[in-house]
Amino acid sequence: MTSLGKPIAHESACDHVTGSALYTDDLAGRFPGLLHAHPVTAPHAHARVVALDPSAALAEPGVVRVLGPADVPGENQIGPARPDEPLFPSEVMFHGQAVAWVLAESEESARRGAAAVRVDYQPLPATLDLEAAIAAEQFLTDPLRLQRGDAAAGLERAPHRLTGELFVGGQEHFYLETQSAIAHLDEQGRVFVHSSTQHPSETQEIVARVLGLRKHDVTVQCLRMGGAFGGKEVQANAWAAVAALGARLTGRPTRVRLSRAHDTTLTGKRHPVLGRFEVGFDAQGTLLALRMQLFADGGWCLDLSEPIVYRALFHSDNAYRIRDVELVGRVVRTHKTSMTAFRGFGGPQGMIMIEEIVDRVARTLGIEPHQVRERNFYREGDCTPYGQVVRDPDRMPRIWGELTASCDYFERRRQIAEHNSRAPHAKRGLAITPVKFGISFTTAFFNQGGALVLVYADGSVQVNHGGTEMGQGLHTKMLQVAAHTLGVPMAAVRMMPTQTDKVPNTSATAASSGADLNGAALKVACETLRARLAEVAAPELGAAPDELVFDEGRVFARSRPERALTFSHVAHQAHFQRVPLLATGYYRTPGIQFDKVTGTGKPFHYFAYGAAATEVEVDGFTGMYSVRRVDILHDVGDSLSPLVDRGQIEGGFVQGLGWLTLEELVWNADGRLATENASTYKLPGLGECPPIFNVALLGRASEPDVVYGSKAVGEPPFMLAISAREALRDAVAAFGAGAAGVVELASPATPEAVFWAVERVRRSGSKA
């Protein structure tokens, strides 16, 4: 039987566990004469580069060349959306920015060389604080707006109103494999770049732009990435460009690999966001009107901030209907690294705001938060604030009902209340939160995918598609789709490394869309080939082509399964009959559009749904806490690959847990990132993995118009972790005297943040 939909291991699992899986920097030993690059970094958050003198660096043993703006044959510009990112800046815009690069025979020489480059800076005033930048009106775009009804009037009419604000911190991607690229001149003297990039076509474009070449002169390959999470969507380009420039100018292969500290100081992060909101509601907690401003710290340049803030606005409703809505998003410019894509792409920042609001509404009214959540779910016929019909709105209540039952939510609420009444110093909390996440790139033209499939005359198959593998299991799913569609065993199909000379003009592997777009394209290509092969096999089997079944390497007529040809035989015959055994496949998502002027449209092909219930315990003396149990029910449609999907759900949850609890970015007063490495920036470790971690995939959830009924899964589960934040708040509230009222909790909810929240609750409780 076919492997599609079966729980199979990652296609590279065997190479992972033996250490033979190669990542970009592992190739270094294959390039004799390799040069190593090291950045010259600026010790100011904002400064003019007055002079740059490389002579001392060139005198260092082993230093071969110092790259600066004068060395760029093309454009000194790598901005993907707007030309605001010089590769070699004359004005330093964040602390640690690279102003030049040193190429040397060894890493050590390059580092010494970089330290010897003399740069004179004229320091300029820097804006580091988000609120100061807002006050100074330093914005990178015009206001982004979504509006429905009349929020002012709705607020006016509402029986209850509350206002508030929440700042949510950013997040470092901390992919285990830091950014890396190796470039060399190929056998034709053209540029070939190995890059750890989610977007090889854009890396190709930027390299060509910097070198002043046409795209066909540049080939980019991504073998695989050691994690990316959005951090290599546009921010892999700079290193590829530096490596390519080095290779082009010296004729020698050139390697860039960022150290961990360079990676965290040079690359962008999830946007920190300040939300200011005013909500109107009734006595039952029904949300009536919402006015909210989201201020995203975009860092120094635009990057992907505009679509990211749009996605934050698109998810400011999460799963809830709100009649009158006015949402405004601002991208704020500060002198920090450029904030960029990170799993969820702004969606989490929008969603956490509405969950914060719902909780405040519930506590203001003294109603259980889960009741307020449930009461406000979208219903049949509802539209989002941007006018998209919410299809399958019944999914959310179905998930809610199944999950509260399977995790014994109400009984555990009762037990926790009982525990808390007996334990003065250790309170438990339990919360359930929903996720509704829109799938598609909100920039319509990105929603296309391509594939190239080659069948050889011996029946073996090579598959190429535009997606990249970063651990999310895309290649595994694509092998399953290809093998199933062609009707051959998985072992007959070889997945080729992602390379720009196979499928051109690809989109980034991002927005959870990798399997949807590339899978659909691949399916088309495989169907084309299968149809041709059916024509070849039909006469020999004495059946009509459309009667033929292709199954695990056997081809037979449905009515006579005992008489079968091998796939290899049919491929061989096809070659002799001069039937083409290569095919392309192409897919574009239908019906996607969004009008920025009116703030309406259908930016998403569909929504992915899920919910999580999390239980925590908080120590009142220290604010330290532990996650005791997590239950998740998530909608992946008809899963293409259940083990892969479960991995995405669990991994996404824990990564979201990190964002909301441990992971804290701290910049010093001079703009230097104080949490620049693994000892100062703490991602979840084994100790944060919930001891009880139940994950189930929603049944009866086939998604029409998506490859084999599946759904995207990369990003949506990240936001299930909001349940952990709400559980912490629930536990914090239990330290109070039981009086209703808003419980403020900073984000990330570090032990210190939880500690102060407990202190506040205790103080207000003692007053009451």
Partner 1 sequence: MAIRFTLNDAPVEVADFDPNTTLLAFLRGRGMTGTKEGCAEGECGACAVALVERDARGNTRYQPVNACLLLLGSCAGREIVSIEGIAQGGELHPVQRAMIDRAGSQCGYCTPGFVVSLFAEYYRPGRTEVDPEAIAGNLCRCTGYRPIREVAEGLGQPGDDDPFRRRLALAPPTLEPVQHRSGAGRFLRPGTLQGALTLLAEEPGAVIVAGGTDVVVEVNQRHRRHRSLLSLENVAELAVFEQSADRIRIGAALSLTQIEQHLAGTVPLLAQLFPLFSSRLIRNRATLGGNLMTASPIGDSPPALLALDAEVELASPSGTRTLPLSDFFTGYRQTARKPDEILAAISIPLPLPNVQRFYKVSKRVLDDISTVAAGYSLRVDGAGKISAARLAYGGVAPTPARARDAEAFMVGQVWSHELVKHTLPILARAFSPIGDHRGSADYRSTLIVRLLEKLWADTSGGAA
**Catalytic site positions:** 715
DSSP single-letter state for residue 735: T
As measured in angstroms, the least distance from the Cβ of 728 to partner 1 is: 14
Q: Which residue, 217, 225, 224, is CA-closest to 192?
A: 217
Q: In what order do the strands lie in the sheet with 91-92?
A: 91-92, 47-53, 118-123
180-185 and 254-257 beta bridge pairing: antiparallel
Q: Which is nearer to partner 1, 143 or 691 (CB)?
A: 691
Please give the single-letter amino acid code of residue 310: Y
**Would you give the DSSP letter of residue 542?**
T
Q: Choose between 537 and 727: whose C-beta lies nearer to partner 1.
A: 727
Q: How far is the CB of 226 from partner 1 (least distance, A)?
A: 3
Task: List the alpha helices (DSSP H) in 19-102.
Answer: 55-59
Nearest approach, Cβ of residue 51 and partner 1 (Å): 25
Distance CA 125, CA 136 (A): 13
Give least dist CB 685 to partner 1, A: 5
**In whole angstroms, how close is the CB of 155 to partner 1 at the nearest point?**
36
Residue 589 Cβ, how far from partner 1 at the closest point, in Å? Answer: 26
State the minimum distance, in angstroms, from the CB of residue 755 to partner 1.
6
274 beta partners:
167, 295
Q: Residue 356 or 645: which CB sits closer to partner 1?
A: 645
Question: What is the rounded CA–CA span in Å between residue 389 and residue 379?
Answer: 10
* 248/725 with CB nearer partner 1: 725
Bridge partners for 434 per DSSP: 611
Nearest in space to 578 (alpha carbons), one of 457, 685, 688: 457
3-state secondary structure of 684: coil
What backbone phi and psi angles, to 5 degrees, belong to 52? -135, 115
Cα torsion for 733, 739, 744, 750, to the nearest 10°? -20
* Shortest reach from residue 686's CB to partner 1, in Å: 5
* C-alpha to C-alpha distance for 742 and 212, rounded to whole angstroms: 58
In the complex, least distance from residue 55 CB atom to partner 1, rounded to whole angstroms: 22
Distance in angstroms (rounded) separating the CA atoms of residues 551 and 419: 57
The whole-angstrom separation of Cα 466 and Cα 315 is 28
**Shorter beta-carbon distance to partner 1: residue 28 or 162:** 28
d(CA 390, CA 189) in angstroms, rounded, equals: 53
Query: What single-letter amino acid sits at 95?
Result: H
SS3 365: helix
Angstrom distance (rounded) from CA 740 to CA 58: 68
Q: Which is nearer to partner 1, 290 or 683 (CB)?
A: 683
> In the complex with partner 1, which residue's Cβ is closer, 380 or 418?
418
CB 62 within 8 A of CB 106: yes
Strand partners, 219: 192
- Please provide the size of the chain in residues: 768
Could you tell me the smallest distance in angstroms from the CB atom of residue 666 to partner 1?
4
Q: Which amino acid is at 21?
A: A
Residue number, 91 or 688, with CB nearest to partner 1: 688
The amino acid present at 247, given as its one-letter code, is: A
Cβ closest to partner 1, residue 28 vs residue 444 = 28
Between 275 and 671, CB nearer to partner 1: 671
Least distance from C-beta 103 to partner 1, angstroms?
18
Measured in whole angstroms, the distance separating CA 316 from the mean position of its chain's CA atoms is 18
CA–CA separation, 765 and 768 (whole Å)? 5
Tokens of 78: 């790598």
Q: Which is nearer to partner 1, 58 or 624 (CB)?
A: 624
What backbone torsions phi and psi does residue 172 show, to the nearest 5 degrees?
-85, 140
3-state helix/strand/coil string of 444-489: HHHCEEEEEEEECCCCCEEEEECCCCCCCCHHHHHHHHHHHHHCCC
**Residue number, 80 or 230, with CB nearest to partner 1:** 230
Q: Given the structure tokens 């139940």, which residue do they identify?
A: 694
Nearer to partner 1, 254 or 305 (CB): 254
CB 694 within 8 A of CB 631: yes
CB of 352 to partner 1, least distance (A): 19
| SS3 per-residue string spanning 292-349 | EEEEEEEECCCCCHHHHHHHHHHCCCCCECCCEEEEEEEEEECCCCCCCCCCCCCHHH
| Separation CA 631–CA 233 (nearest Å) | 31
Helix axes 474-486, 514-541, angle to 10 degrees: 20
The DSSP letter of residue 732 is H
Give the integer Cα–Cα distance in Å for 276 and 316.
Answer: 12
What are the backbone angles phi and psi of residue 116, rounded to the nearest 5°? -90, -15
Min separation Cβ 748 and partner 1, Å = 9
Residue 664 main-chain phi, psi, to 5 deg: -130, 120
SS3 199: coil
Closest CA to 642 of 473, 395, 439: 473
Q: How many helices (H) and strands (E) does the chain have?
A: 19, 29
